Amino acid sequence: MAGPRRDTRGIVEARELFARVDFRRREPAPELRPYLEHYWLIDWDLPEPYASHVVPHPSVNVVFQRYGDKPPWGEVAGIGLGLFTQKLEGRGRVCGVQFRPGGFRPFAPGRPVSDWTGRRLPLADVLTGADTAGTDTAGTDTAGTDTAGAILGPEAEDERVAALDAFLLGLEPAPDPQALRAMELVDLVRRDRTIRRVAELAEAEGVSARSLQRLFAAYVGVGPKWVILRYRIHEALERAEAAEDAAAEGGGDGGTEAGVLDWAALAAELGYSDQAHLVRDFTATVGVPPTAYARQAP
């Protein structure tokens, strides 16, 4: 692993987000890198509320959060099926763990990852060995509070990263060949844009489509078709962001001319039968059609 990735895939209006919050990615301890994409850290101090939007990756996240004077807490966020919106205001801090698709199951081997899809749950409901659930004297659920405080509390970023490492290593993930297989297959989909259908992935792996469905449900949390489609939308969103940057700078690259993205050409490149299908998927996922999204560029 050469370090955390630097792209903005999945972040809607990435430049606006980065202008408002302090967003960083950090690398986990070497023992954790087979399972994790990276840590993601966000701090903010906003004069007015701001809503961030993300098209989720096919990844489970563990998220430790502190908003204003509220007690910190931690939760497991299963794969989000739709656009994720989070309102930020005042001061706050988040320390997140993004697992590789397929990499979460060794930390919670008792149930298929699809059980967590579309859900956000207290740590102790999912991770054996996390804080024991309980309530304080006011009746507030305190599961994950102690761990969250230890992770979010230090002002030194390196100390927060070390606390994340210690927490995850303490869960003692068990090596699982099927998890490794799932991670490799999702990486193949992400890297190889010629794989546009489940049948093509099954053929490359030498298994049936049904076997892939079972593996992905157990270890990734969504089906292979969903992963292929999601990475298509991530690519389209990344290209749209690049077109915005090119327009702002007065140039063009990566399929753009003077900052104008050729959506018909991109649709063909991503394996869509026509531009209308890309527009439909983009609109359903991001919430606005591609042309409207492009017009949002400052």
Residue-level length of the chain: 298
- Per-residue pLDDT of 148-170, as tens digits, reads 999 999 999 999 999 999 999 99
pTM greater than 0.85: yes
- Per-residue pLDDT of 262-277, as tens digits, reads 899 999 988 888 899 9
- For residue 135, give every residue at least 6 positions away whose Cβ sits within 8 Å of its Cβ, in sequence order, or none: 141, 142
| Burial degree of 146 (CB within 10 A; 0-12, 13-18, 19+) | middle
Q: So where are the chain's domains?
A: 11-170, 227-295
Q: Residue 136: pLDDT above 50?
A: no
- Per-residue pLDDT of 73-99, as tens digits, reads 999 999 999 999 999 999 999 999 999
Residue located via tokens 């890297």? 191
The domain at 227-295 falls in which architecture?
A: Orthogonal Bundle (1.10)
Query: Residue 257 pairs with which residues in a beta bridge?
Result: 260
Q: Residue 129: pLDDT above 80?
A: no
Q: Report DSSP state, residue 60.
A: -
pLDDT (0 to 100) of residue 220 = 98
Please say whether the beta carbons of 73 and 34 come within 8 A: no
In angstroms, the Cα distances linking 78 to 116, 117, 184 are 5, 4, 20
- Per-residue pLDDT of 38-78, as tens digits, reads 999 999 999 999 999 999 999 999 999 999 989 999 999 99
Q: What band does 140 get if pLDDT is binned at 50, 70 and 90?
A: very low
Q: Residue 171: pLDDT above 60?
A: yes
Least confident stretch, 27-36, 62-71, 248-257, 284-293: 248-257
